Amino acid sequence: MRLFGVETEYGITRDDVPEMDPVVESMELVRAHLISSFERRWDYAGEDPHEDARGFRVSGLQQDKEEDEFAQRDAHRPFSFHDMKSDLVLPNGARFYNDHTHPEYSTPECRTLRDLVAQDRAGERIVFRAGQQRNQTLGGMHVRLYKNNTDFHGHSYGCHDNYLVSRSVPFATLAAGLIPFLVSRQVIAGAGKVGTEAQESGYIPGVYQLSQRADFMETELGVDTMYNRPILNTRDEPHADRQKYRRLHLIIGDANLCEYATALKVGTTRLVLELIERGTIPHLELDQPVAAVKQLSRDPDLKAVVRCNDGRRFSALNLQEQYYEAACRGLAGSDEESDWLLHEWGDTLRLLSQDRAQLVGKLDWVTKQWLLETFMREERIGWDDPWLASLDLEYHNVNPEQGLYLGLEAEGKAWRMTTDDMIDAAIRNGPNDTRGGVRGLCVQRFSDQIKSMQWERIQFKGGLRPQHLDMGDLFDPQDVRRCMDAFEQSHSPDGALAVWNHGKDTGR
């Protein structure tokens, strides 16, 4: 079973000051999660965004220039780069940090959709509770947090889904199989958006579209993530054994609140990756993928068609049906989760064309459109009314007393894969069958003995020789559980590593 995870940058505002400093506010929000002083532990040496999956290394990124500009502007600040990042690894194995102007929560690695959705929802609550702590310090409910992708002023921030992929599959094969799927995936995974937007022209009201990220897609392939944003990101940063694995890093996705949409977004992508690895992917090549992303997003009636290089024309639903039918032929009966996905994927495509109202509470763009249209009828306004952008934003508010989606969920109008107890459990612990659970357990038991951490490595303090846990190839669930047992039952990291390394050496 493939591993996956989701990184979400949250929108942040503050209403008690004329101009908010997003760098400081994001840093303070992350630190509000702490009950003790911040200690630098994240190891940035393992991160290198310049490696390109197409087989070369780029000398510079557009975002490097922005980072240099940030460094100049931040020179006056009374804290270092690492203090500003305030990078935390949480007891559930997640990462929570300041991505310069946005708080970001990255789930631990997950093996099942149920775990992924629970861990993603745990992130919403962790971010919200940090906001409550921050507001207590400020003396009022001034900070607001949004799980969305746009500020309606020409800026976009991301929700990235990640997948462990075998390096034996050439990247060109991944790209060819994925791009038409990702262009059309927004019919399932779009968060919905009032108006159009671009960094150059700003916000223009008047339409409703499927996706918040579509406006900001600028090229087909590329290693950058903040400028010239690609449909398929080519960053080659596996956070695993480079000889065996890739990390597919997708930046095209929207941040979803509907649990059903999150499960389908990640689950259907997993199925498509399985088809690519088996060589049974549909042969589709779009003529203009970047234009197609925008064209399909701006047609909520789902009637727009885009052209393939062989002259065939497909709607977004038609493209998804091509992938769905291939998955049914090749993957039916593979496992229980795949069968659930195939059933729900097919049912969703059918309802999108026949009875969309049944998807309220399941797909974000459908749910938001229903809410806004209900409001428009009551208030007798049109899509060009600026009021709607404010309502769009409040759909994504993570405060249960203010968020429009969370209000629907509280009324029982949203489909749930999780329960509140499952989400609370996901806040406390990572999955027990992935290295994310191991990472979280080490934070729980030996936090004061950790020197540094990365996704695939933990270095412990003390001893004549540095002691570290290498998790670059720790993916087999049985191995994960044996590793967790070693750290659960030992009184020190040294003892746990001795047990774990002995077990590996003896094959037990």
Dmax over Cα atoms in the chain, in whole Å?
A: 74
Hey, is 56 helix, strand or coil?
strand
Hey, is 4 helix, strand or coil?
strand
For residue 257, the surrounding DSSP H or E stretch is none
Length of the chain: 508
Residue with tokens 């695939």: 456
Catalytic residue among 43, 99, 151, 287, which?
99
Residue 463, by phi and psi: left (phi above 0), alpha (psi -120 to 50) or beta?
Answer: left
Q: Rg of the chain over CA atoms, in angstroms? A: 22
Spatial CB neighbours of 49, under 8 Å, sequence gap ≥ 6: 61, 63, 223, 225, 235, 237
**Strand 219-222, strand 230-233: pairing:** parallel
Please tell me what DSSP assigns to residue 480.
Answer: H
Among this protein's residues, is 99 annotated catalytic?
A: yes
Quote the CA–CA distance of 273 and 268 in Å, as a whole number: 9
Quote the CA–CA distance of 86 and 94 in Å, as a whole number: 14
**Strand 467-470, strand 457-460: pairing:** antiparallel
Q: Note whether 185 and 265 are within 8 A (CB).
A: yes
Closest CA to 455 of 51, 10, 45, 40: 45
Catalytic residues: 99
